[in-house]
Amino acid sequence: MSFLQIIYAPNEIFTQKAQPVEEVDDEVRDVLQMMFKTLEIENGIGLGANMVGFLNRMIVVDWFDGGERFAMVNPEITYKSEETQEFEEASLSFPGISAKITRPKKIKVKYLDEQGKEQSKEAEGFLATLIQHEIDYLDGVVFLDYLSKLKRERLLKKMDKHMKKYPPHIHGKHCNH
């Protein structure tokens, strides 16, 4: 099975809003499976489609510690609790940095599953944060956008140094995956 290359910041794709998927067909299912494979290779737990170059409203979650594995097509948050929580967030597209972000503690999401059937999901705790983080990507928002300009600039400089010291692995024909 194929996988997809992670897009690294800075990249204008992270400021663009993803478009709704008109139909969940074999092509969409293939992209979702490649997104899952990419998560596996990169040791990630969530991925928005624009993180791998698609401006479509699709996310995948494979949170092994939480026992959750699902795809969401056209996810829409229909409820956010007033109660908030704070978690350290990071991203495959922003290597070497993380930040504490405050988000609603509980959410409800409606979406289409891999068969195109309408579903809804309630989430709380870290899973709620994870889903919100990935849906933000689809809306042209990244976790750094929740920080002050000064803190964001410091983290981006830190990421720059990290990427120079540890260049990201660009997948190609010489990979072992």
Tens of pLDDT, residues 107-149 = 999 999 999 999 999 999 999 999 999 999 999 999 999 999 9
The whole-model pTM stands at: 0.93
Share of the chain above pLDDT 70, in %: 94
Asked whether the beta carbons of 56 and 19 are under 8 A apart, the reply is yes
Nearest partner of 56 among 70, 39, 73, 36, judged by Cα = 73
Q: How confident is the model at residue 64 (pLDDT cuts 50, 70, 90)?
A: confident
Cα distance between residue 91 and residue 159, in whole Å: 11
Mean pLDDT of the 43-55 span: 96
Tokens of 110: 């409606």
Average pLDDT, the chain: 94
**Is the model's pLDDT at 1 over the cut of 60?**
no
Cα distance between residue 134 and residue 111, in whole Å: 13
Share of the chain above pLDDT 90, in %: 88
Domain positions in the chain are 12-165
Pick the CATH number of 12-165 from 3.40.1350.10, 3.50.30.10, 1.10.540.10, 3.90.45.10: 3.90.45.10
**Is the model's pLDDT at 35 over the cut of 60?**
yes
Positions marked active-site: 134
Q: How far is CA 55 from CA 10, 68, 78, 94, 137, in A?
A: 16, 24, 22, 18, 10
**Amino acid in the structure at residue 130:** L
